[in-house]
Structure 1
Amino acid sequence: MRHPQLSLRKRCESILGRLDLTHPFSLDALCDRVAEQRGRPIRLHPLPKEAAESGVCGLWVGTASVDYVFYEAQTTPLHREHIVLHEIGHILFGHHSLDGEETDGRAPTVLGRTNYTTRQEQEAEMLASMIRIRTASAGRPASGGGGRDTLARLESAMGYERRRPGHHGS
């Protein structure tokens, strides 16, 4: 019996192996590399207010000449970056439409993220998380209390804000 998570991890590792991630990590550099591989630019834009209010936090619109990635602007910088990585995950996995059907090439590809229940969403989310983990740990010592910092970064990337004792927020 094949374990689906293991298979997904292996597919993500295969994609990661072709990315040549920079250290320190640069989202712009990653977008440039993916754009070069695809032969068309990636343009990053904040989501329109109406889309964000409807619960969408990220959106990829792929046309024949440009890939547009929209992200929720009213969140932490790390979460914004994670949203963009998620949408790039859709691009790198070659996802085509909301229901997984290929388009005829004339209609744009439109994928919006509101949940993680479909296979495509799980693939994009796993790849985004693996990019974040791989680039966050590059060049750091393997020991010395970094686990708590790593956990905080991952929680922040997933949109969870942890309050520190004595911190009352703004």
Structure 2
Amino acid sequence: MKAIHGFVKTIAGERKLRRGLRKELVKVGIEGPVEMAELCRRIGESRGRPIKLVAFPMEVPGPCGAWLSASSGDYIVFQSETTRIHQEHIIAHELGHILSGHRAEPDEEEIWSRFMPDLDPGVIRRLLKRTQYDSVREREAETIATLLLERSLVVRLLDEPGSSRTRRMRHVLGEARGWL
């Protein structure tokens, strides 16, 4: 899987990022909103590295999620003590780092070791854990998270089984061209 990058300071940059994300998702067979676990499974398969989701009670205030790249695959650790929609946003943000091909900064292994002292520091190669979105890569990951979630949220909110309007909206929003 090719890393997607976009300079998100401009609308044109966001469009470029959106197009790149759409291409990558179509490559892995995703043409509409899917559950977050399924999205992770397909992206992991495509990359040849499974993505495992780990709910973990994190300190508040503090980071809500982290991405750990180990020899056995990638781990997305997310706050267990929050709402489902917030958890999905955290996971989507960390997927944004993975899809963008971001790398860890040198001190992140030390940060992870303090965060989970039982974890062998030799296993840690990559960790992305942020509470601010002031770097280009954080904005990129956050934009990807927003793109992944914006349509699926609308589809979920329009879940009135008997309404013909809801069925039409779900059909339109679920279309491959309408999702991203």
The letter of the residue matching 1:135 is S
How far apart are residue 95 of structure 1 and its match? Answer: 0.3
- 1:18 is aligned to 24
Q: Where does the alignment leave 5 or more consecutive residues of structure 1 unmatched?
A: 100-105, 143-170
In structure 2, the partner of 1:118 is 135
2:80 corresponding residue in structure 1 = 73
Say if 1:78 and 1:22 are closer, same or farther in 2 by CA, change over 3 A. Answer: farther
How many residue pairs get matched? 133
Unaligned runs of 5+ in 2: 1-6, 107-122, 156-166, 171-180
TM-score where L is the length of structure 2? 0.64
Q: Per-residue deviation at 1:53?
A: 3.4
TM-score using structure 1 length: 0.68
Match 1:55 to one of 51, 62, 75: 62
Residues 82-121 of structure 1: CA deviation (Å, up to 9, x unaligned): 100000110000001137xxxxxx8511110211111111
| Cα pair 2:8 2:140 within 8 Å, conserved | no
Q: Give secondary structure in 1 for the equivalent of 2:97.
A: helix
Distance 1:77 1:3, change over 3 A: closer
CA distance in 2, matches of 1:112, 1:88: 12
Q: Are the structure 2 counterparts of residues 24 and 111 from structure 1 closer, same or farther at C-alpha, using a change threshold of 3 Å? A: closer
The answer on whether the counterparts of 2:8 and 2:143 sit within 8 Å (CA) in structure 1 is no
For the aligned residue pairs, the C-alpha RMSD in angstroms reads: 2.6
The yes-or-no answer on 1:33 pairing with 2:38 is no
